[in-house]
Amino acid sequence: MPATFPPIRTDIFSLFILLGAVQGIFLCYFFIINSGGKRFPNIFLGSLLLGMSLIMADVWLGYTNYMFRVIWLVDFTEPVNLLLAPLTFLYIKTSINQHLKKSDLLHFLPSLVYFIYMCLLIYPQSPEFKYNNNLGAFHPEMHTIPADVYGKHWMFFLKRHLTDMTFISILSYDIGTFIFLNKAFKKQGLSFFTRENNSLSWYRKLHLQLLILVIIFFIVRLTFPHDLGDHLIAAFISLIIYTISVSVFSKSMFFHETNAKTIKKYEKSSLTPELQNTTLKKLEEVMDVEKPFLDPGFSLPVLAKRLGISTHHLSQILNEELNQSFFDFLASYRITEAQRLLVSEESNYIKIEEIAQMVGYNSKSAFNTSFRKITGFTPSEFKKQSIK
């Protein structure tokens, strides 16, 4: 190994990328330990942020020339490249559908295969081999050194084409995410590009950021040889993390008036984390499968009895984990069911008043008020838009 290395480079890009990586790790910890009622979405989002941070750390080490001091870390994050797009898609999918299928885990297969490939062929290579790889990526003008390399030329095919595979992965998942989100918007009777602020707006914003990343990735690869433009890609990933941070902090209770009565109400509660997690899972299953909310007489005590929990504990779970009162929670399920009926061809002959009764409302005015509060439209307006 050479005794001297290129000087350390510090500029605005290195600082911007480093701070983004640190912020990403902080947010990863925040989302994973605060999974609550959104266990899978938060785990996927936390993992996505961790993956982004690792890639940025890798780019930062190469861009600043610190990588020469830890040469064994060269290319250590390459398998993560194939994780970012699947994690983004699964985060959006599980956030909207509220469940995860076993088949969804197949999205991680390409990254797993590439990780095994790296463990067998790349990670065990000599420091001289990794030194030359780092030169090829960030200092192609420098001379390589003699290195022991095991493995035949064809075995390095996957590594040589990782950039192509990463681009295809991000582009494919971006298309898949658009199709999935577009269907979700249509299900609510909205255009994908609607300016109305709704529950899907955040996911659309994240999707568009991924689309911009595809464009930047493509432009950088066409403009810069080797990996010399990676700092631009890492800088944009940092920008995504900063955007997520602003969104999280703006919704933090630190920036809102604290509801002291709610805190005091539950400060002596005997509710355990185990009971809370079990109840949340059972609650989701009962509401999705049995649909007890369709009964006009459905109430908090009835639901608590069905779940085998006290009304006090159930109210606490709804307030703290779902940030809803029982009536808001009930309305969200009833209106979602009403939306499904309003757009269903099988229900075209059914009057809106009858649909209101079918989803548990005895009063048409109460139904209209709840519907407009949640969707921003009256039932008739929603039905007209779904026909277009």
Q: Are residues 165 and 199 in the same domain?
A: yes
Q: How far apart, in whole angstroms, are the C-alpha atoms of residue 204 and residue 194?
A: 10
Domain that holds residue 194: 12-255
Q: Which residue has the higher pLDDT, 131 or 366?
A: 131
Q: What CATH number has the domain bearing residue 272?
A: 1.10.10.60
Q: Are residues 187 and 266 in the same domain?
A: no
Q: Tell me if 4 is assigned to some domain.
A: no
The two tokens of residue 170 are 């991000």
Q: Tell me if 326 is assigned to some domain.
A: yes
Q: How many domains does the chain have?
A: 2
Last residue within a domain, chosen from 239, 255, 271: 255
Q: How far apart, in whole angstroms, are the C-alpha atoms of residue 342 and residue 336?
A: 10
3 state SS of 296: coil
What is the chain's mean pLDDT, rounded?
86
Q: Are residues 90 and 197 in the same domain?
A: yes
Does residue 306 have a pLDDT over 60? yes
Q: What CATH number has the domain bearing residue 81?
A: 1.20.1070
Does residue 157 have a pLDDT over 60? yes
Q: Tell me if 169 is assigned to some domain.
A: yes
Percent of the chain with pLDDT over 90: 46
Q: Tell me if 293 is assigned to some domain.
A: yes
Q: Tell me if 89 is assigned to some domain.
A: yes
Q: Tell me if 5 is assigned to some domain.
A: no
- DSSP code string of 167-233: HHHHHHHHHHHHHHHHHHHHHTT--TT--S--TTHHHHHHHHHHHHHHHHHHHHHHHSSTTTTHHHH
Last residue within a domain, chosen from 255, 280, 305: 255
Does residue 241 have a pLDDT over 80? yes
Q: Tell me if 7 is assigned to some domain.
A: no
Helical pair 84-97 and 39-64, crossing angle rounded to 10 deg: 160
What's the pLDDT at 86? Answer: 95
> What is the distance, to the nearest Å, from the Cα of residue 239 to the centroid of all Cα atoms in its chain?
16
Q: Tell me if 198 is assigned to some domain.
A: yes
Q: Are residues 138 and 196 in the same domain?
A: yes
Last residue within a domain, chosen from 255, 283, 313: 255
Its pTM stands at: 0.65
Does residue 28 have a pLDDT over 60? yes
The whole-number average pLDDT for the span 193-220 is: 83
What's the pLDDT at 266? Answer: 54
Per residue in 11-24, pLDDT (tens digit) is: 999 999 999 999 99
Cβ-based neighbours of 123, under 8 Å, separated by 6 or more = 76
Is-contact 289 306, C-beta < 8 A? no
Per residue in 341-372, pLDDT (tens digit) is: 888 888 778 888 899 999 999 888 888 888 88
The CA distances from residue 18 to 83, 303, 332, in Å, are: 21, 49, 41
Does residue 259 have a pLDDT over 50? no
